[in-house]
Amino acid sequence: MPRFESLADAVGGTPLIRLTRTGLRPRIYVKTEWTNPAGSVKDRAALSMLQQALADGSLAAGGTVVETTSGNTGIGLAAYAAHLGLRSVVFTGSSVSKEKRDVLAAYGADVRLVDAFVPKSHPDSLRSVAERFVADTPGAWLAGQYDNPANPAAHVRSTGPEIWADTDGQVTHLVATIGTGGTISGTGRFLADVSGGRVQVVGADPATSIYSGGDGSQKAIEGAGHFVHPDAETDPWPESFDPSVIDRYEPVDDTTAIRAIHDLARTEGILAGGSSGVALAAAYRVAEGLTEDDLVVVLLPDSGRNYLSTYFDPTWLTANGFDGDGSDGDGSARDGDAPRVGDLVTAPLRTAERDAITVAAVAALGPADGPVAVLHPRPRTAAPHPADVAGWTTAEALRTAAPDTLVGALAEPVTARVGAGEHAATAVRRVAGSTPDWRHAVVLDAGRVTGLVARTALEQSAEQA
């Protein structure tokens, strides 16, 4: 076993493990990045950014490391900041798994939750809040993983060369997710260059991510993909991402990604995180068209241990409209007393009601007291994500509003969520425990909003069950 003189020396050198039960013709190896000291592929970028900042004077000894993150980069920064005698402050959202937030705190990071649903340029956005903190804190430095060249550089130096050496130069395909773009850009660039363009680089992307042509809405899988707020005036891509490296994209929906990591755990004994499921599902799709002469490397960013309360938890899965073991998600209600809803009735936010909805359309909205979801407007390639629901109103409120009334002014918050296949009684008990004053809940199928259900209707269904 190797011996290291410091924690930093132990970063990298993660193993390639061949999958033996895929039933596919090519050799498929997964690179298990959670064997890095702080538990993910982001250890590489975090250490690289810290070392570069210390070297160029952007960060001084004893300073404060600041980052906005969905978890793993923050964990890496917190771990190596502690190792280097630095303070760390991490800005993230409450949707990030509890396990990740707990790990951040364990490393001594000051974890600050910011949940404002606003564009990145808004003063209340995650990045804006972090930038103000840096400006007001002497000795603070913002890592800025999305635009920091030390992010992809880490993978040119380490991840790419490791894959090339460990496959004896036989790798033909690299499959990795795209978040900041640093991992796939650096690794893919090295492999493409060293192979003379022979290695194909596949970008595995959540189906709604803008990178691969989705509508830019949020998704259930943390980390991977590119989200665009519906009110954003511009859509700047990360400078860490070099799209020219990508040979093809493979969009993967949340259900397929979750199913992939469940199957991986149960057939190969490998417990991987949610974005790993995106990469795996994409790799399996690519492998279907390959032969025994091909060798596919799939980069798995982190362990499933970070997601035991989400993607591997039956209660979370059912409440979000995924089957309890991740194997369904076809849109149907799966229990006799589950909430059942028709088509989602919607109205656009911010638009004058009479301009947005014709008289005929208003008449078609249904019963006067029927709930109507008020949505943040965006071109959609999928059913809305819960983040796109600004609130609810009724058909009667829309019919009787003054002609210049904005729909948003009629909307009341929707604070509860129930799964399409969840027992009504279970849903009532669960929601009441966290949101006692709720009136309507969004109904989720595979993480997407397919309807609204009134509390009275759900409670009545629960009583009749």
The better pLDDT of the pair 282, 346 is held by: 282
At residue 294, the pLDDT reads 98
Domains of the chain plus CATH, in order, are: 8-37+149-307 (3.40.50.1100), 42-142 (3.40.50.1100), 328-464 (3.10.580.10)
Query: What's the mean per-residue pLDDT of the chain?
Result: 89
Higher pLDDT, 447 or 232: 447
Residue 336 confidence (pLDDT): 39
Q: Look up residue 291 and give its amino acid.
A: T
Find the range with the poorest average confidence among 135-149, 246-260, 270-284, 381-395.
Answer: 381-395
Question: For residue 202, which amino acid is it?
Answer: V
Range of weakest confidence among 70-84, 200-214, 327-341, 371-385: 327-341
Average pLDDT over residues 348-376: 58
Q: For residues 394 and 372, is the Cβ–Cβ distance under 8 A?
A: yes
Give the pLDDT band (50/70/90) at residue 103. Answer: very high
The one-letter amino acid code at 98 reads: K
pLDDT at position 366 is 60
Predicted pLDDT at 340: 39
Of the chain, the percentage scoring pLDDT greater than 90 comes to 66
Binned at pLDDT 50, 70 and 90, residue 94 comes out as: confident
**Residue 411 pLDDT > 70:** yes
Cβ partners under 8 Å of residue 420, min gap 6: 321, 331, 332, 333, 334, 338, 339, 340, 341, 443, 444, 445, 450
- Burial class of 245 by CB neighbour count within 10 A (0 to 12, 13 to 18, 19+): buried
Identify the pLDDT of residue 356.
43
Query: What pLDDT sits at residue 325?
Result: 47
Residues 19/280, Cβ–Cβ less than 8 Å? no
Per-residue three-class SS string for the chain? CCCCCCCHHHCCCCCEEECCCCCCCCEEEEEEHHHCCCCECHHHHHHHHHHHHHHHCCCCCCCEEEEECCCHHHHHHHHHHHHHCCEEEEEECCCCCHHHHHHHHHCCCEEEECCCCCCCCCCCCHHHHHHHHHHHCCCEEECCCCCCCHHHHHHHHHHHHHHHHHCCCCCCEEEEECCCCHHHHHHHHHHHHHCCCCCEEEEEEECCCHHHCCCCCCCCCCCCCCCCCCCCCCCCCCCCCCHHHCCEEEEECHHHHHHHHHHHHHHHCCCECHHHHHHHHHHHHHHCCCCCCCEEEEEECEEHHHHCCCCCCHHHHHHCCCCCCCCCCCCCCCCCCCCCCCCCCEEECCCEHHHHCCHHHHHCCCCCCCEEEEECCCCCCCCCCHHHEEEEEEHHHHHHCCCCCEHHHHCECCCEEEECCCCHHHHHHHHHHHCCCCCEEEEEECCEEEEEEEHHHHHHHHHHC
Q: Is the Cβ–Cβ distance between 370 and 379 less than 8 Å?
A: no
Q: What was the pLDDT predicted at 348? A: 59
| Lowest mean pLDDT segment, chosen from 78-82, 241-245, 322-326, 373-377 | 322-326
**Residue 86 CA: distances (Å) to CA of 64, 79, 83:** 6, 10, 8
| Spatial contact of 180 and 146, defined as CB atoms under 8 Å apart | yes
Model pTM? 0.90
Residue 120 has pLDDT above 90, yes or no: no
Nearest-angstrom CA–CA distance, 461 and 454: 11
Contacts of 256 (CB under 8 A, 6+ apart): 277, 281
pLDDT tens digits along 428-463: 999 988 888 898 899 999 999 988 888 888 898 888
Predicted local confidence at residue 415, as pLDDT? 87
- pLDDT class for 364, splitting at 50, 70, 90? low
pLDDT of residue 338: 40
Decide if 42 is catalytic: yes
Quick one: average pLDDT of 42-68?
97
Check 31, 42, 100, 219 and give the catalytic one: 42
Give the pLDDT score at 464: 79
pLDDT (tens digit per residue) in 324-354: 544 443 333 344 344 433 346 666 555 444 4
Give the C-alpha separation, 273 to 312, whole Å: 9
Those residues with Cβ within 8 angstroms of residue 444's Cβ, 6 or more apart along the chain or in another chain: 319, 320, 321, 386, 417, 418, 419, 420, 450
> pLDDT of 373-405, one tens digit each?
888 888 888 888 999 888 888 878 877 887 777
Indicate if the pLDDT at residue 244 is higher than 60: yes
- 372 versus 166: the higher-pLDDT residue is 166
With beta carbons less than 8 A apart as the criterion, state whether 208 and 217 touch: yes
Q: How many C-beta neighbours within 10 Å does residue 216 have?
A: 22
Task: Kindly report, residue by residue over 148-201, the tens digit of the pLDDT.
Answer: 999 999 999 999 999 999 999 999 999 999 999 999 999 999 999 999 999 999
